[in-house]
Amino acid sequence: MNAPRDPLLHHVPELLPRLLPTAMLEALRERFGARCSTALALREQHGRDESPFDVPPPEAVVFAESNEDIAAVLALANAHRVPVIPYGAGTSLEGHLLAVQGGISLDVSRMNRILRIHPEDLTATVQAGVTRNQLNAEIRQQGLFFPIDPGADASLGGMAATRASGTNAVRYGTMKENVLGLTVATPDGRLLPTGSRARKSSAGYDLTRLYVGSEGTLGVICDVTVRLYPLPEAVSAAVCSFASIDAAVRTTIAIIQMGVPIARCELLDAHAVRAVNRHDKLTLREAPMLLMEFHGSEASVAEQAALVQEIAREHDGTDFEWATTPEDRTRLWAARHHAYLSALQMKPGCRCVTTDTCVPISQLAASIQASIDEVEASGLPYFIVGHVGDGNFHMGYLIDPAIPAERATAERLSAQMVSRAIRLEGTCTGEHGIGLHKQGFLLAEAGEDAVDQMRTIKRALDPNNIMNPGKIFG
């Protein structure tokens, strides 16, 4: 229990693990049989995510197969004051899944049924473990799609819990805009619906939006009702290279300010392009690049594309290249989604410290440039990818985990970037969430009174602090 502490977690108050009482473990085994496991390999698999933190694993893993399973685990855990950490696809980036106070990892990945699709209403209700690719494969034949795309094939429950967004958010919004309602299990084991299937409602407090982004700290998301969209009649993607990141970002700003309904507008810096060229065997020009996509009727896509091409030209964009076939588009977007892994392979054995600031779009160019100046001065290798249409970008610092000085440098650079984003009226996290690591940033951004309100809500809805304790705030 007293494993050495991950030095990256120096910001986070040290929490004592709470023991899993034998009585509770026996009750779990009785109900769940082999679906409750304390095998070390399984616990370790459930005790890490895509974050770089080392924390001892949970004490047991339980696989839920129904809402009632979830409610039963919570009722038991609440009675025994044992932490419960919901686990979906394991793709979170901020240590959301880590058992900092021990307890149970509640795996909902077997809750992977698509419960209802209403094509005529453009809605679907899915169990929390359904992934976005699974949903899209299912609804494509009905001419529909679900646009939220955080890169990883995350579960819808996890995406709701972190308020995920990704490449399509500039046009379609984030999970905040696209979740109509949830069924959540409360810490005392009740199941409650938070919304209807109506497109809008003014019926009381917006419980849906309270759970969306709550990172598993208020309850467990059992199912998710989302908005769907008709597959666009026409889709067209394009890449365009620029002499500088500044020119690429200024192009983006102009596109947004003119109200072009662009569906995706992604920035890759030269490092990221180089990495994906190598990983995906592409021959993209190794310069700052915008990767864009347009959705609409044939005529509207053509019109948007012409307008964007004109804007890009004004900013000396070159090598404007179209990908109109589905295969070409898929190759490009696959490369974009591989950027993170591709970059890791540029420095064998490295780990990546990823930032996630989001600023008002007028501040984006200055914000990125200052961050580049700082990282260049530090000598750390890095890459940038960004959902720049939203003012959101990720800088990945590639560090050698064995060299504490590199970790410290990455932390310092990240903190500088976040301070700047907050000064510019932006946020420390556009889409990854707070988790373990950004708790100090949240305090700096929202202020003590706002974080105190969040804590008050947490205490009221989870008085025994069993739901993913130690996340968002200490």
| In the complex, least distance from residue 403 CB atom to its own copies, rounded to whole angstroms | 30
Of 61 and 98, CB closest to its own copies: 98
Question: Which residue's CB is nearer to its own copies, number 179 or number 413?
Answer: 179
Residue 179 near residue 162 (C-beta atoms within 8 A): no
**Residue 197 CB, nearest distance to its own copies (Å)?**
4
Least CB distance to its own copies at residue 384 (A): 18
Q: How many CA atoms lie within 13 A of 205 on its CB side?
A: 4
Exposure string of 155-191, with b = 16+ CB inside 10 Å and e = fewer, is bbbbbbbbbbbbbbbbbbebbbebbbbbbbbbbbbeb
Residue (of 126, 238, 241, 141) closest to 175 by Cα position: 126
- The identity of residue 465, as a single letter, is N
433 or 470, CB closer to its own copies?
433
**Alpha carbon distance 100, 359 (integer Å):** 31
Min dist CB 472 to its own copies, Å, is 6
The CA-atom distances, in angstroms, between 196 and each of 119, 123, 226, 243, 414 are: 16, 11, 11, 49, 40
Cβ distance to its own copies smaller for residue 79 or 454: 454
Q: How far apart are CA 41 and CA 38, in angstroms?
A: 9
| Smallest gap from residue 14 Cβ to its own copies (A) | 21
Of the pair 256, 353, the CB lying nearest its own copies is at: 256
Q: Which residues pair with 399 in a beta bridge?
A: 351
Query: Which residue's CB is nearer to its own copies, number 35 or number 455?
Result: 455
- With CA atoms as reference, report the closest residue to 157 among 217, 214, 223: 223
Q: Residue 56 Cβ, how far from its own copies at the closest point, in Å?
A: 26
Residue 283 CA to residue 274 CA, distance in Å, equals 9
CB of 361 to its own copies, least distance (A): 6
The DSSP secondary-structure symbol of 263 reads: S
Angle in degrees, 0-180, between the axes of helices 364-378 and 245-257, rounded to the nearest 10: 160
Do 240 and 289 form a contact (C-beta atoms < 8 A)? yes
The token duo for 94 is 């901020």
Smallest gap from residue 274 Cβ to its own copies (A): 28
- Considering the complex, what minimum distance in angstroms separates the CB of residue 378 from its own copies? 25
Minimal distance in Å, beta carbon 236 to its own copies?
Answer: 15
Nearer to its own copies, 37 or 429 (CB): 429
Strand, helix or coil at 467? strand
Contact 96, 49 (CB under 8 A): yes
Q: Which is nearer to its own copies, 57 or 296 (CB)?
A: 296
Identify the CA nearest to 370 among candidates 326, 319, 426, 316.
426
Please say which residue, 133 or 196, places its beta carbon nearer to its own copies.
196
Per DSSP, 121 falls in state: G
